[in-house]
Amino acid sequence: MATLSPGPYFKPTWFVDKINDLGVKVAWQKAVPCSCISMESNQPNPSCPLCGGTGFVYQDPVEIKVLAISITTIPEYMLSGLAQFGELLVTVNKDIDMSTFDRLVFLEATTEIMHLVIRNPNTDTDRIKYELLEPEYVFYNGIYYSPNTDFTYNGKEITWIGNRPPDGVRYSMRYKTHPAYLISKVLHETRATEMLSLGNRVYKELPQQYLARREVGFEVVV
């Protein structure tokens, strides 16, 4: 019976089983360079209403499962309700090809985010960066505004129904949302192993692995 010569090799189905059993649900958004990027400086427009000055816009999210391991604390699988900070090693099935700056939103975890939001003078509705799960405070110039009394919220929008900040000013928000990470590095773009099939060596692709950094910051949302 033929055997593999000594050396490291992996069973591809092991990765698939681990992702299916221990993986968590994320919303994967592919990054696309924004058209605001200058041809002369190769820099994005900091006032761009589409990308917010980041230089990237994002396609509609696709729900997938990933295996995420923190590398900034004691390594552990990311559990529902636990927000990990810093960097993650993310493993996905081999048929998923990610790129740098792609966004992963962890749907089974929550965290808190802070924003400065500009009160839109043309509508009752302001758009925020992430899905608003629960507002902690909305504040401007010594005044705290109350949900369902002064405003309602749905997804990434806050709609004013009562007292509100003046048009055009920047007001503060802190709220619960799902943590988001950006792919910063492709670690194993050609990850593969060899296996035996009918006595012959067969090249088998393995799930890809990426380094992801937490998307955080004190930002102004236009």
Task: For 38-77, write each residue's pLDDT tens digit.
Answer: 988 889 998 787 887 889 999 999 999 988 877 554 434 4
In a domain, 190, yes or no: yes
Please tell me whether residues 21 and 32 are part of one structural domain. yes
Q: Same structural domain for residues 106 and 118?
A: no
Q: Which domain holds residue 165?
A: 112-177
Residues 106 and 41 grouped into a single domain: yes
- Rounded Cα gap, residues 113 and 173, in angstroms: 8
My answer on whether 29 and 81 are in the same domain is yes
Instruction: Specify if 5 maps to a domain.
Output: no
Say what the pTM is.
0.75
- Strands 170-177 and 134-140 come out as antiparallel
Same-domain check for residues 142 and 100: no
Residue 222 lies in a domain: no
In angstroms, the Cα distances linking 170 to 105, 134, 165, 218 are 26, 20, 8, 13
Residues 103 and 119 placed together within one structural domain of the fold: no
Same domain, 92 and 18: yes
- CATH of residue 209's domain is 2.40.10
Is residue 6 in a domain?
no
What pLDDT, on a 0 to 100 scale, did the predictor assign at position 64?
93
| Same-domain check for residues 160 and 85 | no
**Residue ranges in the chain whose pLDDT is less than 70:** 1-17, 71-85, 188-206, 216-222
Instruction: Judge if 184 and 149 occupy the same domain.
Output: no
Q: Establish if 75 belongs to a structural domain.
A: yes
Pair 106, 80: CB distance under 8 Å? no
Give the number of domains in the chain. 2
Residue 186 falls inside a structural domain:
yes
Task: Say if residue 185 is in the same domain as residue 133.
Answer: no
The confidence score (pLDDT) of residue 181 equals: 92
Q: Quick one: 168 and 182 in the same domain? A: no
Place of tokens 């007292």: 163
Q: Which two three-digit tokens encode residue 68?
A: 């995420």
Cα–Cα distance, 58 to 31 (Å, whole number): 5
Classify residue 7: in a domain, yes or no. no
The answer on 189 and 213 residing in a single domain is: yes
In a domain? residue 127? yes
DSSP state of 81: T
